[in-house]
Every structure is written in structure tokens, then in C-alpha cells.
Structure 1
């Protein structure tokens, strides 16, 4: 599979919406990198970002106050009050978060592939167009075909389920012999 061409440089994004989206995505990447650095090296990390509208975003592990105070005063930061057991828990939680983010990316990828597959099927199959399409997108001939197909399905249901015909059209209850009828269900 050929690689995508890399960007030749970084330039200012003129469109405010795209710039805001890029900031959000890059900020998430920076915070993830800081989290990974902390997990791998047990380093204490503080990161503060200010966006265009003067809103701040911050990330710290484990606590920002002692690190910021030490930085501003020029002193060595005090020893962390987290125990080894707490550090192990933090690392495990960070690893779990990483796995969840990875799973979410894979799920999003599957959803996107399914949407593309559905769209492809919809474009190639008339029945799929009826099932997945919008009524507004169908012309009169297609609507007529859809009506006849639904009528055929209704007739097939009536042939297979004789009890269905005897029900009044405005009542949507299940027959008593139906295996999942609410009157037969018991909650213990």
C-alpha cells in the first residue's frame, strides 16, 4: 500500500472552524504524549495551553501545583508524595486509557467502513435503495415499485401468520400463545 504524501510544511490555518478542530486534535495528541512520557519514565509533567479565545487547557500528572510552584520559584520540585503502589495504579490506568482510545479508533474505523459498504450496496441494489434510502430521493416509478413490494411482503406475512389477519388494525397486541407475550413473562 503506497504511503500518503507528507506535508511539506506547517502554515497558519485561515478557516476558524478548521483551526479550532486542528487545535482540539493536536491538543489531545500532546496530552497523550505527555501521559505516555509520564507512564514510561515516571516523570512529573505539567502542560498548559491557551487557545485564541483565551481559554486554557491543562494536563498534569500527578498534580500540577507543586511542579508549577517549584518552576516559578526556581527551586527543585519537592519529592512526589505518591507511593510506588499509586504509581503502578497510575501506569495501569494510563495503559487502560490507551487501550480504550485504541479500541475507539478501531470502532470508528469499522463504522466508517460499514457506512461506505452500506452506501455502495445502496447505489448498486434497488432493494437496498428502498431500505436505506430516503423517500424524497425516490421518483414515482420507484415509489410505485416499493409499494408493490411492500404489498407482496404484507401478503406473504398474512399467508404465514393467519392469526395476524384476525387482529383489528388499530390493536398491536401479541397473541397469548406467542412465546414472548408480556402476560407470560415473569420477573423474579
Structure 2
């Protein structure tokens, strides 16, 4: 006989619920015993019924197993806390580093704009001067590149317009004799 799949929800009928609890409790206790014997595992199982009755199984001393569990849980919590503390400290260090880097960049920016130069030494001023010269050189090179591109575009447009102009002149030169002959014929009629 095959059993159907049981839906996992609270059994409403109290006597059916009590029978199911009793059978499943015994099965669970049996499985805990088998696990402890077959695998030489330290197993502790605690069950409280709906009415508050205690059922338990332990392959060794229950109190020792519970103490061992609590100690293990505390170690895990401590490791988790230590990891979180280290991560938090790492983030704080990174924040301090980034803040210092931002301050240096802002100070450098102000100096490049000519502000706060009163506290600069001659060497710092020379560094700023060389940075500005490099920047101007890059700006001028980019500007020249853009001008060159614009000149090439204008030359291409000039060539296109020149070709269009030539084509139109040829068209006009071909149509002028026809126009003159038609115009001459209309004069004779008048």
C-alpha cells in the first residue's frame, strides 16, 4: 500500500494530531539513535509536546552535549563579530585614505587655479609651473588638431562646391546657344 503525500500544515483533529506526534516522535528518536550508533556521532535530541511534556535522547551526557553546543555557538558568534570588526576597520581605513586623497586633489586643484600659493615653496611653484606648461602644451595640441580637422572639412566642402560650380557652368554654357537661337527666332517673328 502506497501512502499519499501529506500536506505540511497543522493537523486540525486533536486525536489525529496526538497519534501523528507519537509516531513521528518515536521515528525521530529511533533515527537519532541509529545515527549515533552507525556514524559514532554525538547526538542530542530534545522534544517538547504541545502539552509541555519533555522527550529526549542523548548518545552521551545531555548536559555535556548542550555545553559543547553553547561553546561552539559562542565561538562562531565571536568569529562572526571579529570578522565584522575587521571589515568595519578596513572600511574606516579606506575612508580615511580616500578623504586624505580628496584633500590632496582639492589642494592641488586650488594651486593650479592660482589660489593658496602663499604657502608654496619655490620647488612646489616650479612643479606647478611645469604642470601648467604640460597642460597648455596638451591643450594647444588638441586645439591644433581640431583646427586641422576643420580645415580638412572646409577643403572638402570647397572642392565639392568647386565641382558643383564647374558642373553648373558647363550646363549653362550648353544651354546658352539654345537660348540664343530660340531668342533670335522670336526676334525675327516680331
Superposition TM-score tier, normalisation by shorter sequence:
0.3 to 0.5
TM-score for both structures, normalised by structure 2? 0.36
Name which structure has the greater RCO, CA cutoff 8 Å, separation 6+: 1
Structure (1 or 2) with the greater helix fraction: 2
TM-score for both structures, normalised by structure 1? 0.36
